[in-house]
Amino acid sequence: MSVAFISVVEKKEKRSFCEIIMIPQCHTIPTPYIVGPVHCYSTELDGELTLFDCGPPTAECRRFLTENVDLSRLKNLILTHGHLEHWGQALWLAEQGVTVYMPQADHLKIVRREERRRGIAALMAEVGFPQSWLKQFDKAYLEESIYADFPPGYHIVEKKLPEHFGLKVHACPGHSVSDLVYEGDGWIVSGDTLLDGIFQSPVLDLEPGKDKRFLNYRACCRSIVELASLQGNTVLPGHRSGHGVKKMLLSYVNTALSRAKRFRPWQGENLMTVLDVMLEGRIKGPFHIYLKVSELLFLTDFLTEPELLRSALKEAGLYNDVARHFEEVFG
């Protein structure tokens, strides 16, 4: 397996100028989803070949992994979060003897699958999704096309990730209920928590293990503080390119502020009507609507409790960088 070496000029607050670090190898795999290609990463952890995320459930992805990862030596698969393009080959790899580590919140989704199906349908109905779309959602859920096959015998990261891997695990939910960030020696595998030029949709879901809506916005505020503590690490994101943690966080916050400003006049209106007007017919099917409604719920929560984000940004040492924008939106 080849390992990339990079200089750590950008990490001068932590390391000396000439020191080098080893970062995991990036594998970029096409997906059939609107998000585009996904990155997985392979590295040796205490001598064990390990893969972070494994791509979508497609034949093309299996071919890619067969050709680009030494599957005969692959020991571990560690997942950042349970979205299809990140864990679509977990069962296939487990069948080849790979040990799978899954976030606790995804474990709860699996064991409470039926409750989750009913609960999300109820949330969607409450928001105003038309019956025909609810039926499509239910059909997709039943046919498992929105849910990958999961491997029996997986381990839960928070309980069983071996210490000798030398990883620190940071819970950074918000995009999903389960996002985990893995910190190695000078790098972080950040899943979908930090994305360049994409506002990672805070996806509508149930609180893990419960029957109420997961409050993405509150979770994001806590996660911003956690992610800010990882500045100085090389970011290995789930999609697109990685930049510094601070730059990526600020870009996320600035986008949230701009969208909150745009959405503000519509606050309190029926979300389906708002979407119709805001997207002006640029809707690409029920799943696209689902993501957009998720975002509008996030923005509603943000507009209701802006102080939560303001104090999270202050705690993270980032507020000064967005103070003007924040004042412009909230005064």
Q: Which residues bind Zn ion (CB under 5 A)?
A: 192, 238
> For residue 13, which amino acid is it?
E
C-beta of residue 299 within 8 angstroms of C-beta of residue 329: no
What minimum distance in Å lies between the beta carbon of 105 and Zn ion?
Answer: 16
Non-local (6+) Cβ contacts of 156 within 8 A are 101, 102, 103, 104, 107
Q: Which is nearer to Zn ion, 54 or 303 (CB)?
A: 54
Residue nearest to Zn ion (CB): 192
| Least distance from Zn ion to the Cβ atom of residue 175, Å | 8
Strands 38-45 and 187-191, sheet pairing: unpaired
User: CB–CB of 77/90 below 8 Å?
Assistant: yes
Least CB distance from residue 16 to Zn ion, whole Å?
35
Q: What's the angle, vertex CA 190, arms to CA 185 and CA 191, rounded to 5?
A: 140
The rounded distance, in Å, linking the Cα atoms of 29 and 31 is: 7
Q: How far is the CB of 166 from Zn ion (least distance, A)?
A: 25
For the chain, what's the residue count?
331
When the beta carbons of 106 and 271 are compared against Zn ion, the nearer one is 106
Rounded Cα–Cα distance for residues 257 and 68 (Å): 40
Whole-angstrom CA distances from 132 to 33, 135, 228, 311 are 22, 5, 42, 41
Residue 189's DSSP bridge partners are 182, 236
Comparison of 57 and 238: residue with beta carbon closer to Zn ion:
238
Cβ proximity to Zn ion: between 36 and 166 the closer is: 36
Which residue, 192 or 205, has its beta carbon nearer to Zn ion? 192
Q: How far is the CB of 81 from Zn ion (least distance, A)?
A: 8
Segments of the chain assigned E as strands: 4-7, 20-23, 25-29, 38-45, 48-52, 74-78, 99-102, 155-156, 168-171, 180-183, 187-191, 234-237
Which residues on adjacent β-strands are paired with residue 99? 76
Minimum CB separation of residue 29 from Zn ion in Å reads 11
Closer to Zn ion by CB, 192 or 301: give it.
192
**Pick 88 or 119: Cβ nearer Zn ion:** 88
Q: Quick one: 24 or 238, whose CB is closer to Zn ion?
A: 238
Shortest Å, Cβ 309 to Zn ion: 23
| 301: Cβ contacts below 8 Å, ≥ 6 apart | 215, 216, 217, 218
Closest distance of CB 265 from Zn ion, Å:
31
